[in-house]
Structure 1
Amino acid sequence: MAALFIDHGPVVQLKDKFGINGMAKNPGPKAIYDGPMTVLVNGTSASASEIFAAAMQDYRRAIIIGSPTFGKGTAQENVAMGKVADRIHNRPAVSYGAIRLSIKKFYRINGGSTQLKGVTPDLLLPDGQDYSTVREKDMPFAMNWDEIAPMTFEPYPSWDSALFRRAVARVDRDPAFSMIRENEKWLDAHRNPLYSLDFKKFHAEMDTLNDHLAQITKARSMAPDDGVRVREQGLSSGNVAGVGNGERAGNRQTGGNGVGAGNGEWTGQLKKDIYIREAMNILNEMNKK
């Protein structure tokens, strides 16, 4: 994916017991897109998503938007356990299952690992799901963060700092983000509560918690219907059955416009997503530069 947006240079570093290897963009034609770009991430963006976001950030190729990523900067391999078959003594193979070992670690081209810390966005947005997102750093035996020598690469020109100041000011006065931020404060204050053993009190506490969660859900889709325009195209009639399209819509077929019945609900959500809207706001400003 990185090769689609950069012309040349390294993308990620890999370290294993044999040493460190850098992975570069495959040689070939230039990037197919060199225009303004944003990348949305959150606490569930992990592994390859983090490698991509980190590379785009280190090159300054894109502005990373959202909340800190998961922090999975390791690669695993399943190693079979058991005994091989012994045909001479007529003994069958015996399997004891497998053990999953971490064998490699990923590093950014700037030398820092994506492990544990993940990728911190250039523009942080309030995320009402952060309170319940379990990241790598929350795991009891997670590998530590460290860094190695950076690679040689040529970053793109820096973006105007005024663009970020305007974005922060826009987010601060946005009622949807303000609602999420206020509910986040309440959730943080009640992250590890003591629950009452009295059923009525417990039920009331759950009602209060669910109310805050409902406010966050409501805020995430508070953008106006015309906030983001979505080009609905692609799926042909009779070819909609499948996860995310036909199944979500009860396996209904497409209408005369060639758009799957299940796509209407999805594109409708995109139009009202406050995170996509802010990413579009920044793209519009990047286009004006």
Structure 2
Amino acid sequence: MFLDVLSMVVHCAADHDDAYKGALAATCLNLLGSAEWGEVLGNRTNSGYRLESILEFSLKRLASSEAALEVLNGLVAFARTKECSYSDRDAIKDAISPFLRHIPRRALDAIYVPGEEAHYHQMSPVIGRPYSDRKETALSVVPVDVLIDWCNTSPSDRYVFAARSCKLFDTRSRASEEHANIDSVDDSELVISEAALAVLANAPDKKTVIECYLMRFTPSGWSGSLAEILKKRIPLLDALNLGNAEELKPLLATARASLERRIAAEELREDEEERERTGSFE
């Protein structure tokens, strides 16, 4: 109810002047800064959408304010608690996006915690699952130049985080469009995103980056033949060979061989399942 009322007030602010909108933005941030997130989100399906719209309105006007940072830190802290449900995490992923658009460096600093275990237990709950095929994490909205500059502060660990979490796929026809929904696009239309290519080009450990991408090539859910889906993704490996770089050729050859083995195993599994289905009707 709290988010419903607040989002309605924000929606109606279009009829008011800039002074009113600025004061309303400050009020929104102050209210959210003291929010009990478990109660505010309440496992409601529209919480993320409403919270994102409120924060987008507020951060356009007061992105660098202390109140904005207090809301950001509060959301991140709540996402890492046991009280935060899976639906709450979906809402928080939506809510983090305006921060990553308007104050990306500060948001990345608030989200990031070094260490392998930290990635899964402290960062994924905030930005979303990193290995979820086309379902990008909240980092998909971070400008590429900002992401690379942020990674260069500590290249050895931040580029690995970026490889696991950056926008991985675009489409041939919509690669230049922001926030494009690519869920319904055929796999043959997928291309490697500008962000993913930039991360690979600048990362000191390109082997680990390619391994991260390869893990993300496999869908988390699919219909039809997984082997056929993966076959359509093999050409994407060619895009990772930046300028036909010699250092990448053995890495990509190994990645291709790994993907081809996975395809062969899936074809065997699918054939076996088909024989079992056919046999059951005889």
Q: Taking structure 2 as the reference length, what is the TM-score of the superposition?
A: 0.25
Larger radius of gyration: 1
- Which structure has greater strand proportion? 1
Q: Taking structure 1 as the reference length, what is the TM-score of the superposition?
A: 0.24
- Which structure has greater helix proportion? 2
Higher RCO (C-alpha 8 Å, min separation 6): 1
